[in-house]
Amino acid sequence: MISFGIPIMDEKNMLSLVENFFSTHQEALWLFTVAADLSITLLLFRLFGKMGLYTIIILNVMLSNFQGPKLAVIFGMETSLGVILYSGIYFATDLLSEKYGRKEAQRAVLLGFAASLILILVIYISLLFQPSPLHPEFAQSIHDAIATLFNFTPMFILGSLFAYLVSQSFDVWIFHYLKKKTQGRHLWLRNNISTLSSQAIDTVLYALVVWTPIVGLETALGLAAAKYIFKAVIAAIDTIFIYWARNWDVSAQDWNN
């Protein structure tokens, strides 16, 4: 191939450039990840209707459990990466509420709760199996990695599941309450108020039940405040996406209709 002196960028170099850019621009990476999560939600909704929204809720519940321990500093504040995917759950339930009603949204909340419970149970059982003596170094390293990532305590399990169920159920209720009061108008209002209020409940409950026994009340509330700021930003961003999808006709994709 004739390059005429112009360097040709292969896939490896392109990937390296992208990685280098995002490693030094963490805020841009955070915003990109938020947009990607919301876009994937819309894609699944477009392709599969409410089944796609069920899928993203279950997927985000499980993945946010994996990403929960991953901490990063974004805009000068330390936060968990699990906040992005966990916040995406509220967007998906609001879209379910808007398009299919309260019953379907509440069903999705319960499906997410069941998925989280099953994930915790399965991981706990897997850790009861001892690493293989046939490949001791590899097996032990994998076992230790899983144990580190899922170092669950009863308080963590009960606290996280309780906060999820209460806050998500409140989100569904307040969304429909506001929709009724405004006679279906002002989608931006019910989307933001329902998400911000339910996220506040989730953040406070999680801080009080999970973090306070570990780090003390003052530190727990400080962590909660930083986390809530990021949740509020995501709530503002997802308003654009819910307006984009509100008038889509995806009835053909709802296979059980």
Question: Is the per-residue pLDDT at 241 higher than 90?
Answer: yes
Domains of the chain by residue range: 32-249
> Is residue 219 scored above 50 in pLDDT?
yes
Mean pLDDT of the chain: 86
Per-residue pLDDT at 155 exceeds 60:
yes
pLDDT digits 0-9 by tens, 174-206: 999 999 999 888 899 999 999 999 999 998 888
Q: What is d(CA 99, CA 171) in angstroms, rounded to the nearest whole number?
A: 15
Residues 156-167: tens digit of each pLDDT? 777 788 888 999
Give the pLDDT confidence score for residue 252 in this predicted structure. 54
